[in-house]
Amino acid sequence: MAVPREPPSGAGTARDTTMTEQSYFTLLHLWIAAAILLFPVLLRVTVPYGRHASRTWGPVMGNRRGWFLMESVAVIAFSWFLLAGPGPRTAVTWVVAGAFLLHYLNRTVVFPLQMRPRRNLPVLVVLFGMGFNVVNGYLNGHWLGAMAPPRGPEWFGDWRFLTGAALFAGGMALNVASDRKLLRLRRAGNSHTIPRGGLFELVSSPNLLGEMVEWCGWALMGWSPAAASFALWTVVNLVPRALDHHRWYHRRFPDYPPERKAVIPWLL
């Protein structure tokens, strides 16, 4: 999907630009390979945060501060590389970038503030999250700021944009509403309970389903290999986590509804 571009005046030769593009695509291919290799590992490892929190991964920090630190890196890296690129940046660029930043505004500020304070997050998880966000922020910010083919307003009528935007909005609404429901259950001072209502009747983790739908939608509306790699990474991270959550419910609640699936209604 390389898009040959003329270098901006005074910004180096065409050969430099080609070299940079080659390095970009090498990194992107390695990044996709890493996601594929990580998947079987994550199927075997329960990452100890959230409801699985423990101290088995070494030092811990406060969950609110940890989530803020980890996710603010996504906002900074993505915005930096988006703005550092030579463009062109069209209305399509800003809408696609705005959707990314809207998600991360929630994840960086709103979501941590809804959590119960004084819960722990392993420092190692925060460091892994920061590393992921630097690479993902670079790949997607640089694509939008430097490599994307210029798209005019006609893109807003393209089926890829329309379908992707609808999936993004629906996925984000499901993710935010389901996270809020779980965190409310907990903040009310209750112990863990079986969540009821809406998509919780069909799957254990509608929040994770929503996030996967959201980034698949974003990949469609932006139609780029970088966004597709982000969607892949999201699935690789969240399918194993949803299976962990599902097993956790079954261990904890003998009366857990047997027909409920882990993350994909009627299937998985």
Interacting residues toward ligand NAP by CB under 6 A: 50-51, 53, 116, 119, 175, 179, 182-183, 185-186, 192-193, 195, 207-208, 211, 234, 237-238, 241, 245
Nearer to ligand NAP (CB atom), residue 17 or residue 178: 178
Of the pair 97, 232, the CB lying nearest ligand NAP is at: 232
Least distance (Å) between residue 238 CB and ligand NAP:
6
Nearest approach in angstroms of CB 77 to ligand NAP is 15
Instruction: Please say which residue, 145 or 171, places its beta carbon nearer to ligand NAP.
Output: 171
Q: Whole-number minimum distance, CB 234 to ligand NAP, in Å?
A: 5
Instruction: Please state the closest distance from residue 116 (CB atom) to ligand NAP, in A.
Output: 4
Q: How many CB atoms lie within 10 A of CB 207?
A: 25
Nearer to ligand NAP, 81 or 179 (CB): 179
- Which residue's Cβ lies closest to ligand NAP? 50
State the nearest-atom distance from the C-beta of 7 to ligand NAP, in Å. Answer: 34
Residues 91 and 151: beta-carbon distance below 8 Å: no
Three-class SS state of 61: strand
Tokens found for residue 205 = 């983790």
Q: Which is nearer to ligand NAP, 69 or 182 (CB)?
A: 182
Tokens of 2: 């390389």
- Residue 77, classed as helix, strand or coil, is helix
Task: Give the whole-angstrom CA distance, residue 101 versus residue 144.
Answer: 13
The answer to whether the bond into 88 is cis (omega within 30° of 0) is: yes
| Minimum distance of ligand NAP from residue 211's CB (angstroms) | 4
Judged by beta carbon, residue 76 or residue 185, the one nearer ligand NAP is 185
What whole-number distance in Å separates Cα of residue 139 and Cα of residue 82? 10
- Distance, C-alpha 209 to centroid of its chain: 11
Min separation Cβ 178 and ligand NAP, Å: 7
Name every residue whose Cβ is closer than 8 Å to that of residue 188 and which is 6 or more positions away in sequence. Answer: none
Whether 70 contacts 132, CB under 8 Å: no
Contact 144/96 with Cβ under 8 angstroms? Answer: yes
Instruction: Please state the φ and ψ torsions of residue 15, each to the nearest 5 degrees.
Output: -65, -40
Nearer to ligand NAP, 107 or 151 (CB): 107
Question: What's the Cα-to-Cα distance from 95 to each of 100, 158, 160, 251, rounded to whole Å?
Answer: 9, 14, 14, 43
